Structure 1
Amino acid sequence: MQPLNFVQNLLNQNQISDNLSLVLRPGQIISGKVMKLFPNGIAEVLVGSNKVIAQLEAPLSVNERHWFQVQSGEGKVHLRVLEANGGNGTDATSESVLKELALPNSKVNTTLLQFFQNKHLPITKETVHIAAQWLKGKILSDGLKVLDAVLSKQLPFTKNVFNSLYAIQEDEPISSLLDKLQALLKNGELSDASRRLISIMEQLRFPDSKPSASMLQTSEDPNTQFIKDEVKTAIKTIGFSYENETVKLIKDNEPLNVNKMEALKPILLRLLSEEAAAPIHDAAEKLLNKITGYQVLSQEAGPIQQLIFQIPLTFWDKRTDLTMQWSGRKNENGQIDPNFCRILFYLNLDHLKETIVDLHVQNRVISISVVNHHDDLKTLAQQYIPILKERLEEIKYHLSTIHFEKPIDKKETHIEKKKALSSLKLPNHYIGVDFRI
């Protein structure tokens, strides 16, 4: 049974709109269809859904698709049709287009050419070469999905952005990356940055205060404040809000106190600037990319804001990774409006295994969907629903509905599911019960 995953959903959101304006520059190569012909070699060429009025440098027929190269010219777009190798008048192939770009006819380059053609995007030697470099050592299909996300979300076309998004779709969660880096640091020569990293990792692994197992599992009044505080502390300690806090200090004309801004991310950056051993450098870079990837996906689009993060949580010395996605309109304070929003929780629990809780809030009326493979989850949860309603009423929310669903079988969905959550093993004397959310 395939595990649940949310990353592919996020990467697949906001696909490239056909309505994006097309900007053509000399040297670019495009795939277009001739729609209309006008006197003096003028034609209307369709590129995606964009209509381009261009001066053709050779006579063509209507309804034919060709590869074109944009030429220098004043007043209008000039297009030169590309021909197959040998110049015998036949349409250009991928091989001949790559030759025109002075790029090797490799599998990766051919695939990238097809990718840009399908997205109706202009192609240059630089974009294909850069993308091919990024894809080295990566699974090609996964890399193309990430490349699609970078373009569709109109993110900066940089190696750092690509690597950060690629990192969050990989299986390994933050807790595992933390453990690996910590082990390497302890076995190596300790610099100041290494010592500070180990200290922060210990804070994440063993918070100052912990609730008892019985409090989380069986108490009628679980310490929800502890969970809230640990989540907030972990977000700040990892450095998801590091850049925002830095900007705030600058705006408030406050000194950049290093101790005040102590967080995992800036110290990782410091470690990577040092001459660390290769295994330590690689482990630190993977962790940094993972953190940055979630920051990149946390976007603002006009009045809509999306926040997403993954944090390790520790209960009775056992760890799991909690991934949360918040989305909604911003209120007058610039924060997500708690009256109208959506919150998704992703957990991997010892007994329930991989679980998604999808919570919709409309005017403080809440509907909840719980997605899990467990056959008897609905029956097991019935005794807790009245308590949930009561607790929500105490904070002025009303529970409207709660649904229990099983994940759609992979054969019935186009969403690729990959493992993205770590496992949590509870002590043997806790049977069949996970902590309450």
Structure 2
Amino acid sequence: MSGPSFSSIQLNAPNVISSKVSVPMKEGQVIHGTIKNLFPNQTAEIQIGNQKIIAKLETPLKTGDAHFFQVTKAAPEIQLKVVTGPLSGGNSLAHQSQQLLQAMNLSKSSEMQAIIQFFIKEQLPISKEILIQAEQLIKNLPPNATLKGGLEAIQKMIELKIPMTSKMFDTLLSGKTTTGFPSLITNLKTALQQEQQLSPSQKEAIVQNLQKIGEPFHLPVAGALLGKQLQTLLNTQLPSAVRLPILQQLINASILPSEATLNNPVPISNNPALKQTAGEIISKLMQPNIENKLVVEQLRSWIQNQPLLSSSQKEQVLMNIKEGEAKPNLVAHSLVKVFSEQSQQAVFKIDSNGLTPKDHLVSILGKGMTIDSINQTLEQLTNLNKDSPLIQFRNQAEQTVLSQLDGKAFEMAMKETLKMLGFSYEGSLASGKDEVRQLASHLKPQLVELLQMPNISAIVRDGAESIVSRMNGLQLLSGENGPQHQLLMQVPLEFLGKRMDATLEWNGRMKEDGKIDSDFARIMFYLQLDSLKETVVDMQVQNKIVTINLFNDDQTIETIANKLKPTLKEGLATAGYQLSGIFIKTFAQQKMSSLWPNNSSSSKEQGVDIRI
């Protein structure tokens, strides 16, 4: 369809009125415009998106009429051609789309009609080429994806100005998926164990990473396990038949030296240890030609100021320290005893150096030169204990950790999981803050390297691509728009037999100093719980005043919430926030269902979505 054309005054002319956000103008692009005002000499003010331009009309048009215009020339002056007749306020979206499809000579398939209506509604830049590409992507939509999700992915591709390829489309769709990450990890782990084209070392490195990601509390559990076993081993009141298998297992795991016996289960070690650990103090006591009094005073001061020990535990250790004299064996034995206890009683507690009781315990045993060596020692014990007759000790350790889980513990687990996944791999590599060797040990660079290998099996390749695509999609969906920032992350967690798929979406604004404005936020949690079933928590923060709407169909939840309300109020007050109220509603009263994806086809895994 041809129509009257007109030329606008250049956009940088003095009499052009424009907003801060200008509409991009490209040849062939179709845009929506409304005639706002008519002026003498056949000129008019035209509203295009958020921008107003003054144009010279070659054919009379009416004030208030809206048209679709095609850009026939973008520079030095913009020239537009009318491609549809007037779009009155009574025109439905479907009617407008039909006019545009006919004018642009496009197919009228159901996919194309859905696309053109979405583009008009969202005011996206329209061109024949983009619409045809979008139609092909939507026609090949994966079975588990929705039409709405596909259209939103296309919108993001246009906003990010990335190629409209099927690979990028699938990546964005994967990033929008809020369930199934633990399954992707489990599937890849299973496929790798059957892979014949990888060397054992390559395979083991990736499988170990997948194992660590799936079990973020494995090190705290290992620490509690070691503490329980050493505590039992040091208890001379127990029969040898109970203590001997523990001794043998710790020797087999290379945690205790081969010369360890039931009479001397923890031989003292003078191996170098991480600074500010109990192991470093013991190694100093054993050094020859050193002024003993000075070291003893350092030891006494270190114990008195150690926040990980209780007053009674400090007294136990100090009893073995005389004025200016301390026998390394007695001190080491007493430190092993108290840190074995604290590895179980204060699992997540840390001192001023970021060290936990388990770190100090391993350092006393001579295995704590670095944090990595401490963790490797604990992992050796964990791996050995899985098929051991002493499995009851592991079960007890898991229950110990479970009883101490709190917000800080989950924060630690999420940070460690994101780090091991390699979500920030590219950013860390660019900043140069971390060593390349350390970054290369994370999952994402391992999988990228794996995908470069031509001979790996299709099932391994598909599994690796699925995980990399999920992480890339989340990164593409994260970004900033002026002062508004968006960050998406997904954290697959498995702990003590429980699986959790946690998706975090943060949307917020930045203050002038570049920091997050924490006074205003919206946080949404979507949970599938064993007892309470489907639950949505909508927390809104306005000027540090917190209002919580909790949606659940269980009639008992209000009683539970009322019991916890004082604790929540106190906790928020500690952080500088005021609780306005908690409102319990059923899903019949819920007005925000569109915020959440349809989970009808999701697995039985427990899911958590966090939207801020």
Same fold per superposition (TM over 0.5): yes
Shift of 1:351: 1.3
Contact 1:323 1:347 in 2 (8 A): no
Give the aligned partner of residue 191 of structure 1. Answer: 198
Contact 2:485 2:508 in 1 (8 A): yes
Work out the CA distance in 2 between the residues paired with 1:294 and 1:129. Answer: 26
Matches within 5 A, 1:232-271: 232-249=415-432, 256-257=436-437, 259-271=438-450
Contact 1:57 1:78 in 2 (8 A): no
> Relative to 1, partners in 2 of residues 1:228 and 1:255: Cα closer, same or farther, differing over 3 Å?
closer
Give the aligned partner of residue 349 of structure 1. Answer: 529
Work out the CA distance in 2 between the residues paired with 1:118 and 1:49. Answer: 15
Larger proportion of strand: 1
Work out the CA distance in 2 between the residues paired with 1:331 and 1:30. Answer: 34
Give the aligned partner of residue 102 of structure 2. Answer: 96
Work out the CA distance in 2 between the residues paired with 1:412 and 1:329. Answer: 25
> Relative to 1, partners in 2 of residues 1:381 and 1:405: Cα closer, same or farther, differing over 3 Å?
closer
Larger proportion of helix: 2
Shift of 1:268: 2.9
Matches within 5 A, 1:300-379: 300-301=480-481, 305-326=485-506, 328=508, 336=516, 343-359=523-539, 368-379=548-559
Q: State percent identity of aligned pairs.
A: 31
Give the aligned partner of residue 560 of structure 2. Answer: 380
1:161-199 CA distance string (max 9 Å, x none): 643432244463211222223223333334366554322
> Relative to 1, partners in 2 of residues 1:171 and 1:390: Cα closer, same or farther, differing over 3 Å?
closer
Q: Mind listing any 5+ residue stretches in structure 1 that lack a counterpart? A: 1-17, 85-90, 426-437
Shift of 1:234: 0.7
Say yes or no: does 1:204 pair with 2:384.
no
Work out the CA distance in 1 between the residues paired with 2:547 and 2:568. Answer: 12
> Relative to 1, partners in 2 of residues 1:381 and 1:62: Cα closer, same or farther, differing over 3 Å?
closer
- The TM-score, its normalising length taken from structure 2, stands at 0.53
Amino acid paired to 2:219: S
The RMSD of aligned alpha carbons is 4.0
> Relative to 1, partners in 2 of residues 1:403 and 1:388: Cα closer, same or farther, differing over 3 Å?
closer
Amino acid paired to 2:25: L
Give the aligned partner of residue 230 of structure 1. Answer: 413
Work out the CA distance in 2 between the residues paired with 1:206 and 1:371. Answer: 30
Give the aligned partner of residue 25 of structure 1. Answer: 26
Amino acid paired to 2:186: D
Contact 1:360 1:367 in 2 (8 A): yes
Structure number with larger C-alpha Rg: 2
Amino acid paired to 1:126: E
> Relative to 1, partners in 2 of residues 1:264 and 1:375: Cα closer, same or farther, differing over 3 Å?
farther
Work out the CA distance in 2 between the residues paired with 1:214 and 1:399. Answer: 35
Work out the CA distance in 1 between the residues paired with 2:537 and 2:400. Answer: 21
Give the aligned partner of residue 112 of structure 1. Answer: 115
SS state at 1:188 partner: coil
Q: Mind listing any 5+ residue stretches in structure 2 that lack a counterpart? A: 1-18, 86-95, 222-396, 607-612
Amino acid paired to 1:165: L
Work out the CA distance in 2 between the residues paired with 1:63 and 1:361. Answer: 41
Give the aligned partner of residue 160 of structure 2. Answer: 155
Contact 2:537 2:549 in 1 (8 A): yes
Matches within 5 A, 1:393-408: 396-397=575-576, 400-401=579-580, 403-406=582-585, 408=587
Contact 2:43 2:56 in 1 (8 A): yes
Work out the CA distance in 2 between the residues paired with 1:119 and 1:191. Answer: 48
Amino acid paired to 1:202: Q
